[in-house]
Amino acid sequence: MGGMLTITDDTRAFVVAHADDDVRDLALHAPRDGDVDVPFALDQIAGRRKARTKLPQWAACDGIVYPPHLAMEQCSSQFTARYKTDLAARLLTERTAAGTAGADTSLVDLTGGFGVDFSYMARVFDRATYVERQEDLCELAEHNMAALGLDHVEIVHGDSVGYLDSLAADSVSMAFVDPARRDAHGARTYAIADCTPDVLALKDRLLAVAPIVMVKLSPMLDWRRAVEEFRGAVREVHIVATGNECKDLLLVLARERTDAPRVFAVNDGQHIDFVHGVHSDMRGEAAERTDANAQADANAGDAPLWLYEPNAAVMKAGCFGLLSRRWPVDQIAPNSHLFLGRGERAEGFPGRAFAVEAVSTMNKRELRAALAGLAQANVAVRNFPLSVAQLRRRLGLRDGGDAYLFATTSARGEHLLYVTRRA
């Protein structure tokens, strides 16, 4: 490996002096003479600015060196990295309680990358090893781990498969793998077997080396299909979202075979564990409360009517029947993924709640009455024949405001519009 990153005093001074300047303007007008590495300096200014919101703990550390823009966009956020850390700590605690953990704990990250996930997870292990085949990333990680005060880590420049083959059985407490999702031509891939390394092919070797393996996959993948492909090795599934956008699909592999993994859906501070009853939703069976309940609730009584939209993690998990078993809500229809409830608001529901002010069919007279006084609204469609743009044109409404319109199809095939306000 090459030496530690060397940053000239002039470059460092330039970064400090222009920390809050516009990067694009700097790129056009920065001086090209002297001892300032302008491209590197611009990466540092842009990287630290991005880190202030994405990685605030890193941004607070003056010694961090940031990679180019694309790597900063693609790296884990502080929230998702800390989630993996808490998960790793819990898995270690469970093994200790079961009497199956050694006195000395160790982590190996076989796909180190920029090192954000590694820098957080390493803190809950006695020893941690970062493995990366790109030498420049290894150099960056070596610098940054030292800046973060992580003196119990080892940086290894090498191929993940080769390094894995060098490890003895049961030599690591936990292995972490985040396969690259681009092929040899740079095109994005999503299938597990098309990523590098192929964790499906390495599954048995990984589990021989470590009793716990955490695999980070594309949130675009169908988690049920991924579970099937690992053939009973998946103990837990974690769907992690932040800002209502799915970021990570994490699989925890274990040696003990299971056909019923625990499924966790996480959206910022909202957590839901689908450990109970997940089998029925995996087989696509109907929820215990039928869609007819939702129609009855919508038409009955003077109690307040609420519409609920599950968060992104729950939507990805797809275990909608369980929501009706845990909260007093019912699906409007099997494919709507929207729920209704009467009376008190369903506290703790994993998603957004809206107070329903009117419900209308697409009949023109009904629509005029339901939309009276509205000039703008936020519009969403679920299982509906029109797009948002088409529906907005038909209704003659501008975008925005504090009204939320949900257009969907009921279990009886009616096209309905729910006029709501955010709770």
Judged against a pLDDT cut of 90, whether residue 277 lies above it is answered with: no
- Computed on alpha carbons and rounded to an integer, the radius of gyration of the chain in Å comes to 25
Contact residues for 360 (Cβ-Cβ < 8 A; gap 6+): 366, 367, 369, 370, 371, 416, 417, 419
Question: What does the buried/exposed string (b/e) look like for 34-47 if buried means 16 or more CB atoms within 10 Å of the residue's CB?
Answer: eebbeebbbbbbbb
DSSP structure class, residue 275: -
Q: Identify the residue with better confidence: 301 or 416.
A: 416
Main-chain dihedrals φ then ψ at residue 25, nearest 5 degrees: -65, -40
Judged against a pLDDT cut of 60, whether residue 105 lies above it is answered with: yes
Predicted confidence (pLDDT) per residue in 158-197, tens digit: 999 999 999 999 999 999 999 988 665 666 777 898 899 9
Contact residues for 31 (Cβ-Cβ < 8 A; gap 6+): 38
- Above pLDDT 90, what percent of the chain? 73
Which one of 11-20, 190-199, 398-407 scores highest in mean pLDDT? Answer: 398-407
Write down the pLDDT at residue 69. 85
**Angle subtended at Cα 10 by Cα 38 and Cα 65, rounded to the nearest 5 degrees:** 65
Q: Identify the residue with better confidence: 373 or 294.
A: 373
Write down the pLDDT at residue 278. 43
Q: Identify the residue with better confidence: 250 or 39.
A: 250
| Residue 71 pLDDT grade (very low, low, confident, very high; cuts 50, 70, 90) | confident
Give the mean pLDDT of the chain. 89
Which one of 63-67, 99-103, 150-154, 177-181 scores highest in mean pLDDT? Answer: 150-154
| Residue 282 pLDDT grade (very low, low, confident, very high; cuts 50, 70, 90) | very low
Contact residues for 131 (Cβ-Cβ < 8 A; gap 6+): 108, 109, 110, 111, 112, 156, 158, 160, 163
Judged against a pLDDT cut of 70, whether residue 309 lies above it is answered with: yes
